Amino acid sequence: MTAVRPEGGTQPGRGADDWGVYEAAPQQPTPQQPAPQPSAPHRGGAPGGQEAGWQLDDRTMQLRTVPEAAAPAAPAPTAAPEGRAERRRAAASGLGAPGTGRRRAQGRSAPARPRPPEKKRVVLARALGEGFITLGLVMLLFVAYQLWWTNVQADASANAAGDRLEQQWNSAPQPTGSAKPGATLAGQFEPGKGFALLYIPKLGLKYPIAEGTQKQQVLDKGLVGHYTGTAMPADRTGNFAIAAHRTTHGQPFRKIGQLAPGDKIVVETAIAFYTYEVAGGIPETPPTNVTVIQSVPKGSPFTQPGRYITLTTCTPEFSARGRLIVFGKMLEERPRSQGKPAALTG
């Protein structure tokens, strides 16, 4: 029910503006009301002809004030520490902010237990494991250096040597007449210095040829090396024998095992192009078999002196166990003044 403001005067001890709960007021005499006339009974009516309903007492409810002592007292607020120094002292004592109900965890952790010393075999096993990991990383770096970085360096060196040769030939005057057997330019065949270019059209190869087969001075620089003492392309007879790496350091002869009889090999010098045709080969022979670079190479299909070429390289790949040999016979000698041969232009 809704509280109402009492009408009229005030009760003793209370002001005119006091509010409270309902309480019964003294009964006031009421004038006599005439008795209600009986009415005809109706369906669902109460006995005696009167309608059923709530009989409300016409009495006024007065407000009663609740004593102030009955209300619960509110807790007094805790005064927060004043000043920075007081707040720091409160934080150091482990108390949280006022009213949060939390405590700091400072000073509540147990002291750390000392770590027991490790056994010697555990220390030894750990040291061995770290050593093996380091060794594996070093080996991985070495393999990457051998298979990738040496090729990058060798290709750059070989390309530079080839460019120097072509610039030298283009700037030098062309010889007149036919070249004499074994004719060379001064200083052209010094050890480690390039003097010719090798083309293998089927494999798309073009590499400089330098004098000698020293590993560090020639082969590791991505060059094709000429076996010192064997014939030159311009010689009337003999075997022009050359060698190169099959793997790493530019790997010029990596795919010469794909050559078959009839494939062409071209050697370009300062005076002419020399075209050879593959005639056969040896899949594998010992490294000590030097008869394959003789004037008439053994194991080849040749039996008479002629103008031959022999290519040698290591086999199988990534191994120096044996030597792969390819033999060829000269088909054409063409002066540079007449342009490139059909093997390079066809």
Residue 226 near residue 209, CB atoms below 8 Å: yes
Catalytic residue among 59, 121, 323, 334: 323
Widest distance between CA atoms in the chain: 165
Rounded Cα distance between 344 and 268, Å, is 11
Among this protein's residues, is 236 annotated catalytic? no
Rounded Cα distance between 294 and 176, Å, is 32
Among this protein's residues, is 108 annotated catalytic? no
Catalytic residue among 226, 246, 249, 314: 314
Rounded Cα distance between 294 and 247, Å, is 25
Catalytic residue among 226, 245, 249, 307: 245
Among this protein's residues, is 314 annotated catalytic? yes
Rounded Cα distance between 147 and 40, Å, is 123
Residues annotated as part of the active site: 245, 314, 323
